[in-house]
């Protein structure tokens, strides 16, 4: 989801607005109450009160019309017994009116319920998309990618189900109370039996709900873990096939899938027991009403029509009573889903994301106070860090996500976390180590928010994508222009190096003030890497570029190299200079072992024992290797 565009924002809908499906997406989905799952569900319900009240009104019409049918039948039966044609005609008219109410109410109740369901689910998806846009790569560092997928797919449907079912349940409950009161007034003797029996029916399943909810929670947790495992397996399928681990991970997924199946069966058993109770108890109530009513009729205390009316009312009340079971199921399934969604939506950047400064894009040196890293304005700065995790955290901070203690990166002396989010992202763009390519044409891939100063063709040339374009054209039927060639989901039809170069071209097209690249050439060969280094240097001339890498080819073409050790800048200089003077840097760049590095460290500590100009053992060969790589 892209940052909101600059301009006049559409007014946010009020709680009383009735959203229609064609009005989606929401101009502003609002700020959710993510303190807990139930609070989040209640927040969703309150934020579409208009639609809920509309559903409640149609539900009352529908259930009220259904509940009035037994009265009409009772009037008709009694009219037939008394041989009264007028009352029989009246009963027929009332039945026709009730039937029309049932049809109209059911139709529009269904429309309102589906609308509430879809709009609630769409609101959750918008909130998740906005949170992903705010957090960026931080999201998958704090929450498993599989869990994010589970929340944004299956969980949103269950959340929407409970939100819309609540208004239908309210209509059913109001109808049951109204009918019970009416029966007490209409026929007190039988009405008393119904008044005592209906609460028993409604509350009988309450002792079964806690174990059913626990089993549903277990099922959802296992399903979430299975989804995570499937997502990870599919993402790494190419690597798994390369190392022969495909069957191993597929067996793991089979076991996880079987655990989900067993948990689902255990959960279904409990819900089937609840459904059986919901069928058995109303049947017992009907038997009781008929038995007692027949005795009253034989004694002459009630008419046949009154008995038929009460019997029919009790029989039809089993329909709205089913909504007690549905709301219990909807809540038990939506509660863990809402808890997961709230956990994701509660994640925040370490500092203010709205920004306290004006919407301006600063320029100047990029400085990280935590490590001491400084990337001068307009230069290509290479960063060497022996710890990949530390390098990822640093790249994350350079992108505007402050450290845990609140320390923010400065751009031109301005803290990035004090800028509005869209301004911060216009100023600094971070390309992750594993960038994602979305499906679509190459033209759509490169159609990103940009300054307009960099032509897509120039970006593709600088990223050395000529062979990638040829491969895309060959794999796309009828695509004569490479820009119209199709890219499959995540670029799975391309090699790792080809995906890396396309992602690099996309980053170059945006032309930000500061471009941060995390290992942009780790999957390409040395010849291509040398040309990419030259192309990026030329295209980014006058712009600040930071490259996290340990490749000598990239390091040798950087304006300056910064070496970090244990989270702190320990050396700054040129690549060749650091190779000669900093053994720890040389160990990272040349992949030396500790045993190979130790003599050089000792020699550096004893500078007086080495004549001026003498080069440590092994550095002559290193220089020759670098010269060969440079010529390549």
Name residues of the chain where pLDDT drops below 50.
1-13, 352-353, 601, 603-622, 624-625, 628-629, 631-632
C-alpha–C-alpha distance, residues 296 and 313, integer Å: 17
Report the C-alpha gap between 546 and 427 in whole angstroms.
13
Q: Is residue 564 classed as helix, strand or coil in its secondary structure?
A: strand
Give dist(CA 25, CA 375) in Å, integer. Answer: 40
Number of Cβ atoms within 10 Å of the Cβ of 185: 8
pLDDT digits (tens, 9 = 90+) for 439-474: 888 888 898 888 888 899 999 999 999 888 888 888
Distance of alpha carbon 55 from alpha carbon 272, whole angstroms: 28
- Using omega within 30 degrees of 0 as the cis cutoff, is the peptide bond preceding 25 cis? yes
Instruction: Kindly give the pairing relationship between strand 440-441 and strand 514-518.
Output: unpaired
Task: Answer yes or no: CATH 3.40.50.300 is held by domain 366-438+448-459+503-593.
Answer: yes
Q: Give the three-class secondary structure for 354.
A: coil
Name the DSSP class of 430: E
Nearest Cα residue to 113 out of 37, 34, 56: 56
Question: What does the longest C-alpha to C-alpha distance in the chain come to?
Answer: 130
Contact of 366 with 398, CB cutoff 8 Å: yes
366-368, strands of its sheet edge to edge = 373-375, 366-368, 410-411, 414-415
* Cβ-based neighbour number of residue 417 at 10 Å: 23
Look at residues 14, 24, 31 and name the one whose alpha carbon lies nearest to residue 345. 31
What's the confidence (pLDDT) of residue 233?
A: 65
Burial status of residue 564 (CB atoms within 10 A of its CB: 0-12, 13-18, 19 or more): buried
CA 608 to chain CA mean position, Å: 61
């Amino acid at each position: 989801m892209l940052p909101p565009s600059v301009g006049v924002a559409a007014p946010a809908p009020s709680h009383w607005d009735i959203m229609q499906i064609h009005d989606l997406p929401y101009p502003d989905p609002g700020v959710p109450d993510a303190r807990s799952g139930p609070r989040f569900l209640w927040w969703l319900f309150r934020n579409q009160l208009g639609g809920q009240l509309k559903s409640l009104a149609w539900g009352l019409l529908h259930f009220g019309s259904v509940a009035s049918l037994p009265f009409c039948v009772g009037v008709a039966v009694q009219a037939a017994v008394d041989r009264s044609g007028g009352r029989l005609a009246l009963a027929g008219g009332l039945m026709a009116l009730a039937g029309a109410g049932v049809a109209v109410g059911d139709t529009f109740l269904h429309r309102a319920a589906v609308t509430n369901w879809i709009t609630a689910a769409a609101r959750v998806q918008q909130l998740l998309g906005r949170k992903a846009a705010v957090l960026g790569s931080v999201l998958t560092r704090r929450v498993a990618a599989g869990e994010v997928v589970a929340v944004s797919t299956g969980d949103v449907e269950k959340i929407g189900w409970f939100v819309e079912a609540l208004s239908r349940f309210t209509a059913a409950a109001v109808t049951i109370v109204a009918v019970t009161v009416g029966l007490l007034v209409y026929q007190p003797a039988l009405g008393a039996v119904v008044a005592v029996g209906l609460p028993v029916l409604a509350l009988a399943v309450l002792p079964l709900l806690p174990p059913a909810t626990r089993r549903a929670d277990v099922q959802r947790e296992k399903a979430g873990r299975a989804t995570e495992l499937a997502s990870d397996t599919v993402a790494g399928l190419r690597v798994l096939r390369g190392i022969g681990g495909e069957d191993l991970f597929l067996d793991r997924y089979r076991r996880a899938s079987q655990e989900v199946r067993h948990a689902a069966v255990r959960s279904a058993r409990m819900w089937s027991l609840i459904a059986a109770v919901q069928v058995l108890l109303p049947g017992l109530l009907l038997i009781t009403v008929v038995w007692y009513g027949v005795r009253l009729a034989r004694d002459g205390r009630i008419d046949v029509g009154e008995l038929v009316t009460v019997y029919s009312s009790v029989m039809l009340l089993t329909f709205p009573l089913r909504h007690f079971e549905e709301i219990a199921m909807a809540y038990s399934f939506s509660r863990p889903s809402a808890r997961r969604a709230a956990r994701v939506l509660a994640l925040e950047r370490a500092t203010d994301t709205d920004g306290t400064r004006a919407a301006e894009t600063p320029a100047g040196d990029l400085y990280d106070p935590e490590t001491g890293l400084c990337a001068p304005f307009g230069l290509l700065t290479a960063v060497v860090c022996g710890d990949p995790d530390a390098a990822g955290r640093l790249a994350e901070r350079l992108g505007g996500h402050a450290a845990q203690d609140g320390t923010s990166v400065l751009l031109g002396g301005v803290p990035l976390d004090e800028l509005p989010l869209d301004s911060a992202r216009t100023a600094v763009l971070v390309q992750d180590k594993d960038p994602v390519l979305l499906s679509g044409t190459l033209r759509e891939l490169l159609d990103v928010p940009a300054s307009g100063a960099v032509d897509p063709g120039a970006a593709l040339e600088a990223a050395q994508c000529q062979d990638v374009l040829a491969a895309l054209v060959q794999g796309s039927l009828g695509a004569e222009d490479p820009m119209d060639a199709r890219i499959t989901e995540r670029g799975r039809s391309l090699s790792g190096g080809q995906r890396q170069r396309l992602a690099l071209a996309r980053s170059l097209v945006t032309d930000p003030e500061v471009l941060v690249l995390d290992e942009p050439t780790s999957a390409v060969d040395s010849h291509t890497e040398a040309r990419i280094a030259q192309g990026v240097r030329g295209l980014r001339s006058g712009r600040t570029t930071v490259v996290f890498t340990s490749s000598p080819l990239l390091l040798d073409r950087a304006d300056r190299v910064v070496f970090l050790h244990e989270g702190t800048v320990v050396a700054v200089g040129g690549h060749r200079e650091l190779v000669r003077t900093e053994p720890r840097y040389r160990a990272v760049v040349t992949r030396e072992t500790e045993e190979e590095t130790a003599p050089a460290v000792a020699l550096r500590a004893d500078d007086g024992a080495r004549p001026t100009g003498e080069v440590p053992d092994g550095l002559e060969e290193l220089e020759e290797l670098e010269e060969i790589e440079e010529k390549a």
